[in-house]
Every structure is written in structure tokens, then in C-alpha cells.
Structure 1
Amino acid sequence: MPIENIPEIYIKDKEKRPDLFVYDFKMTNDVVKSKVNLGMNMFSFLQVGKKQVHFAGTAVAVNKEQSLLLKKGNWLWTELLDTEAIYYCKLFFFSETKLKEFLEKHTRNVAIVKDEIPFFIIRNDAYITSYLNSLSTISDAPAVFMENLLSVKFEELMLYLLQKYGRKFELYLYSLIASETSPFKKIIENKIHSNLKLEEIAFLCNMSLSTFKRQFIKEYNESPGKWLQNKRLQNAKNLLEQGKLKPSDIYLDFGYNNLSNFSIAFKNKFGFNPSEISS
């Protein structure tokens, strides 16, 4: 699957990347786990449909009742139609330059953020609805005015969210300009519970599959496929021992396409069938 460089593919003038950029994204088909290289931090205001995103160490799913602020970097995006025949979201990209200008102007102290926080969930409300309408209204403005208008609209939105979410949002903004990156092992161990393929985890680590495998063996002294399988089977066993779920309820969550393959792998590791736990 090709990697989409966003917002570059939406910008007409390839010679210049604007500091602020709004794009109306629409589609009529589901897209599952598309690889996205997000070159700028971005608001995703979901209007119609459902969205799930995976970042290095985490994942989040939202519907049209929520919007997301996403950190730039490598993402896997799943975008699904809901009851409508179209998926629609308004994307608002902003540069680190604009973010730093805002923080210098409107926050008192430089916050030191140790953990990278890849996303911030925004609860849609009457203000957000009104704000999005205003963005649509100015979309036809002449280019000479658009840059200044977007600058004002960006500041307005950030001030509103700062007022609404307070220190939590301020810390998130500072995390966007933090230089620290997520350690390789942290990414891997956060993906134990997912059913992502190795190639998809490698992408989230910003590596080719071959580089990822070499790095993995260096860190864990074991192949990634074998290591992940053992970890996931152990987690599956722990889950079944709680007595609330059956093997047929969980095999997909642990990366198996059918119950038979899950049962065979489980028995090879533990010496008995997973059904024997829950029976």
C-alpha cells in the first residue's frame, strides 16, 4: 500500500508549504489502515463517518461527536462511512512556527513535556459547529486575504480550546514541539495487544520492514514474528482465564484470521486447547 504524504498531496503550489492550510476531505468508500505520513500537525474535524487512527504507541477511534488534533508523523488511518453514503471531514493543518508564536503570546511558562502525546480528543459543541461554518464561509476569500484570515481563525480556535481544556491542552501543545521521540521498545510493547501486521508496526516506527526486523532482533534477541506471537498468546491465555470470554470472541483481536489457526498456535505453546480453559 503506497504512503500518502499529507498535506503535500492536497497543496496545489508544490514549491511552497503554507503555515496554515484548510482542506475539505470527502470520500465514498471505506479506507482501512491507509499509511499516512503527516507532515504537519493537524486538526481533523469529522463531520460525517467514523475514524480510527494508530500512532507509534497508541490508537484512538472517534465519531462525528468528536474531533482530533493529531501530531505530525507516521499514522495508520481507518476511515469508515456511517449511515450516510459519504465520509467528510475538514482538515486544518498548522506549522510549528505558528504553534510557537501562539504559545509565546498566550502562555506564561515553557512546559517541559517528557511523554509524547500523539493526539488530543476534542468534544464537538456549538462553538465548534459555528467555527467550522465560519471556515467554510472564508474559503472563497481572495488568496491575498486568506493567509491573514486563517491566522486569525487559528488563534481564535486555539484560545477557545485553551479556555475549554485548560492546562491539559496547554501541555499537549507543548508536547507537539518536544524533540523527544518514542523509544523503539515502547512502540513495540504498546502494540502487543493490537492485531497489526509487522509491516504496519514497522511503518509506525518509521522503518522499512527489513530495518525493523534487524532492530527488533538487536533489542530482543528473537524474531519479531515469534516474539509477538508468544506475547499475544500469553495475553490471550490471561484473558480466557478470567472466564468472561470464549476463544471465538477473541481470536481476531490477537491477529488470527480464524479460530482453528488460533487454537493450533495456542496448543503448540501451552499444550492444551484454549477451549479447555473456558469450558
Structure 2
Amino acid sequence: MNYTILPDVLYEPSDEKGEISIVPYSSGVPVIKGRSMLKKNMISLIWEGEKIIHYTQEKISLQPDQILLLAAGNYLTTQRFAEKGHINSILIFFDNSVLNDFLEQQKDPINFTSLTENSRPYVLFEKDAYLNQYIVSLKLIV
């Protein structure tokens, strides 16, 4: 089984520091299983379907009511389409310099160092009304 290199298979990323790329993703394949090499950090904003990411002994199940922040790395993935027959999401790719700049500007600092200490390369958030509206806005722009 070959690796899918992300974000390279979706667009041609530059090596420029601080680049943020917003990429729509859709698939009509019922189940996609594979290995992914994520070269940049990623936020997955899914609104249809399910993504499952296997990391060491853990399984992350990303549902439409959640947002996933995932660090660059190697992962086993499974994608399943929704009842409507699609997986739909927006993927946001960025390097560590973007994350560091964001963390430095926070009034109430978020401590992501515990991710590396606990060997967890992800954070899973529940969506609220504000985040749902943000995703609707992104869908219009993208």
C-alpha cells in the first residue's frame, strides 16, 4: 500500500514559511482506506461523512459535529461517506510557524506542548454555532 502525500496530492504547496492553504475536499467513493503522510499541520472541517485516523494505539473518529487539528506525520486513514453518498470537508494546511504565531498572539495562551508530551498529535474540538457559521462562510469563499 502506497502513501498518499498530503497536501501534495491536492495542490502544489510552496515551501514558503507562514503559508496557509484552504482546500475543498470531496469524494463519492463509499470507503477509502490508506496510509497518509501529512507534510503540514492540518485542520479538517468535515460536514458530510466520517474520517477515522489511526495513530499508534488510538483511533480518532471525526464526525460532522467536530473539528480536528492534526500535526504533520504518518497516519492510517479510513473515510466513509454519509447517507447522501459523499465525504465533504474543507482542509486547512499550515506549517509550525503559523501555529507558533497564532499561539503568541493569544490573550489566554493555549498550551499545545502537552500534545508532544502525551504523544498525541491532535486536538478534537466540538463545533458550536460560531464555528458552523465560519464553515458556511468558507464554503462560499472556496
Distance of 2:97 and 2:67 partners within structure 1: 23
Contact 1:28 1:85 (C-alpha < 8 Å) held by counterparts: yes
* Partner Cα separation in structure 2 for residue 9 and residue 101 of structure 1: 27
TM-score (norm 1): 0.45
Change (3 A) 1:38 1:109: same
Task: Give 2:120's aligned residue.
Answer: 117
RMSD: 2.1
Aligned mate of 2:139, from 136, 140, 151: 136
Determine the structure 2 residue equivalent to 1:217: none
Within 2, Cα distance between the matches of 1:136 and 1:118? 26
Aligned length: 137
**Contact 2:24–2:89 (CA<8 Å) still a contact in 1?**
yes
Q: Which runs of 5+ in 1 are unaligned?
A: 140-279
CA distance in structure 2 between the partners assigned to 1:54 and 1:30 by the alignment: 19
Q: Which has the higher contact order (CA 8 A, sep 6+)?
A: 2
Amino acid at match of 2:20: L
Question: Could you tell me how far apart the structure 2 residues matched to 1:109 and 1:67 are?
Answer: 20
Specify whether residues 135 and 32 from structure 1 end up closer, same or farther in structure 2 by C-alpha distance, changes over 3 A only: closer
8 A contact 1:11–1:17 mirrored in 2: no
Q: Distance in 2 between matches of 1:45 and 1:136?
A: 10
The 1-side partners of 2:71 and 2:56 are apart by 11
Name the residue aligned to 1:75: 75
**% identical equivalent positions:** 25
What are the superposed Cα offsets for residues 209-255 of structure 1, whole Å, 9 maximum, x if unpaired? Answer: xxxxxxxxxxxxxxxxxxxxxxxxxxxxxxxxxxxxxxxxxxxxxxx
Normalized per residue, the structure richer in helix is: 1
1:63 maps to 2:73: no
Larger Rg: 1
Question: Could you report, residue by residue, the CA deviation over 1:10-33 in whole angstroms, capped at 9, with x for unpaired residues?
Answer: 223x5x245201111111113343
TM-score, with structure 2 as normaliser: 0.84
Q: Distance in 1 between matches of 2:127 and 2:109?
A: 28
Give the gaps of 5 or more residues in structure 2: none
Which 4+ residue blocks in structure 1 deviate beyond 3 angstroms?
A: 107-113
Deviation at residue 88 of structure 1 after TM alignment: 0.8
* CA distance, structure 2, for counterparts of residue 32 and residue 71 of structure 1: 21
Kindly indicate which of the two structures has a greater share of residues assigned to strand.
2
Given the superposition, is the C-alpha separation of residues 108 and 85 from structure 1 closer, same or farther in structure 2, using an over 3 Å criterion? closer
User: 1:136 deviation in Å?
Assistant: 2.8
**Closer, same or farther: CA 123–2 of 1 in aligned 2, 3 Å:** same
